Amino acid sequence: MNRPRRRLCRFGIRQKVVLVLLTVLLTALSVSGWLVLRDMERNVLSETERRGVEMAEYLSRSLAYSVVGYDYHTIQLLLNQVVQTGDVVHVRVLSDRGNTMAEVAHPDREAVERVGFERPVRLNDGTVVGNLELELSIEPIVAQLAEQKESLIKREVLVILLIALGEFLVLSWIIIGPLTRVSRALESNVDENGVILRDIPVDSRDEIGELARRFNEMRAQLNAANQKLHGRVEAADRELKEAYQKLLEQSAALQHSNLELERLSLTDPLTGLGNRRAFDQNIEADMALFRRHGDISSLLVLDLDCFKGLNDTHGHDIGDLVLCQFADVLQGHARETDEVCRLGGEEFAVFLRRADEDGAMAMAEKLREAVEAMVVNVDDALKISVTVSIGVATLSTRLRITSALALYKAADQAMYASKQAGRNRVTHYDSLIAESLTPATHIA
């Protein structure tokens, strides 16, 4: 049995679990890192705000007396020192009238991110003598946050990789390994009869081991059930074959019976000749050939003379014996292509294919002589002779004899003409027309 080829790349339990785990960890750590960074950013900005406020407060107090005394030089020196030594990128001092007394800006002020603070310049008694505007650079804060973010991402990636590796190893050892052994044990473990050949060699105490033990228990039950099923299938197969054979025999018998019934429906039971139905069926094709191609044929209608008196004198059994011997004479003298039928009672017909008027008359005369010479030996004391009157008709378009019915009526009329002329003779329908005994228009 050909084994199915294994797929080179399978997306199994191990890969699925690791993928789900990585997705969950990545989502969880991403959310956690985002929350941590947001807290850190908020804390750093809060610290920057506090530092800026303190610096602005300190500087405004330091400048109060210089602003009151309009000491521009001192103010400018102090501002220069503040900008050069700290994170201050811009500072300006305004008088109480709003005039700029001193202003210092870092050369890179426009290129850095900054945050502004504004504080009034007050004396010790609280009198406002000016205003201080101060801008702190937050570039160190941004750099610090970026560094912390990068460090956090590295830690998260490392944690994810370690967890994924550990989970992969644990899955391989605890789940995938036993499942692989189960899969290999099941591969090609069933023969062509459906019998499971081997147990699953897993003896762990976890769910997989329990599954293997349950399967091994079921194996014996399944094999026993399979054996019983095969026995029943074989028995049913034998019964089916026997039933099929009987059905074939019954079908053959039925076909034979149908053929026999068909034969009987077309056969006269006394003489074994065809009956009127067979006569009509057998000559219908010849009628069509005559109408299409002009193939000539003739019909003899024969009627035993004085047969009713014979039946009344000697009984029907003797009459049947005479009919059977008469039928044998007709069969014996007819050609192989001719159709001999019993139309009913003592009336018989012989259909002569490819026989014209002369040929039909010759055949009719030969049959008349044969019947006249026929002797029916009933017993030593009783010998019976009979004669026959024969009517002959030939297919003719001139006389409108182109159908089976017209041909029969013409031959029947010729047969009655033989009876009227003294019996034991042959008469052709054409001679009746010539003698104007029966008008041709009477033929349907």
Structure confidence by residue, pLDDT tens digits, 356-395 = 999 999 999 999 999 999 999 888 778 899 999 999 999 9
C-alpha span between 62 and 81 (Å, rounded)? 13
The DSSP secondary structure of 165-198, one letter per residue, reads HHHHHHHIIIIIHHHHHHHHHHTT-B-TT--B--
- The CATH number assigned to the domain with range 276-442 reads 3.30.70.270
- The CATH number assigned to the domain with range 13-158 reads 3.30.450.20
C-alpha span between 274 and 266 (Å, rounded)? 6
Q: Alpha-carbon dihedral of residues 311, 317, 321, 323, nearest 10 degrees? A: 50
All residues at 6 or more sequence positions from 421 whose CB lies less than 8 Å from its CB, including other chains:
427
Q: At what angle do helices 139-171 and 13-68 cross, to 10 degrees?
A: 160
Backbone dihedral angles phi then psi of residue 404, each to the nearest 5 degrees: -60, -40
Which of 213, 118, 221, 160 is CA-nearest to residue 26?
160
Tokens 């003797």 belong to 318
C-alpha span between 103 and 75 (Å, rounded)? 9
Which amino acid is located at 275 in the chain?
Answer: N
314 contacts 381 by C-beta, under 8 angstroms: no
Q: Do domains 13-158 and 276-442 have the same CATH topology?
A: no
Strands (E) across 26-113 are located at 88-95, 100-105
Q: At what angle do helices 307-314 and 316-333 cross, to 10 degrees?
A: 140
Q: Which residues are catalytic?
A: 346
How far separated are the first and last CA of the chain, in Å rounded? 80
C-alpha span between 410 and 393 (Å, rounded)? 6
In 10 A of CB 318, how many CB atoms?
16
C-alpha span between 261 and 248 (Å, rounded)? 19
* Domains in the chain: boundaries: 13-158, 190-265, 276-442
C-alpha span between 370 and 330 (Å, rounded)? 9
301 contacts 414 by C-beta, under 8 angstroms: yes
In tens digits, the chain (444 residues) has pLDDT values of 444 444 444 556 656 666 777 788 778 877 877 787 777 777 777 877 787 788 788 877 888 778 877 888 888 888 888 877 767 878 888 888 888 888 888 777 777 778 888 889 888 887 888 888 888 777 777 777 778 777 877 877 787 778 777 776 766 666 666 667 666 666 656 666 666 666 766 666 666 667 767 777 777 777 777 778 878 888 888 888 988 998 888 888 788 777 767 666 789 999 999 999 999 898 988 999 999 988 999 999 999 999 999 999 999 999 999 999 999 999 999 999 999 999 999 999 999 999 999 999 999 999 999 999 999 988 877 889 999 999 999 999 999 999 999 999 999 999 999 999 999 999 999 999 887 544 443 332
* HSE (side-chain half, CA atoms, 13 Å) at 264: 7
The reported pLDDT for the residue numbered 443 is 36
Q: Which two tokens stand for residue 387?
A: 């004669």
Q: Which two tokens stand for residue 358?
A: 């002369």
Which of 105, 98, 106, 104 is CA-nearest to residue 67?
98
66 contacts 78 by C-beta, under 8 angstroms: yes
The DSSP secondary structure of 305-362, one letter per residue, reads TTHHHHHHHH-HHHHHHHHHHHHHHHHHHS-TT-EEEEEETTEEEEEEET--HHHHHH
The reported pLDDT for the residue numbered 373 is 95
The reported pLDDT for the residue numbered 4 is 47
Strand partners, 276: none
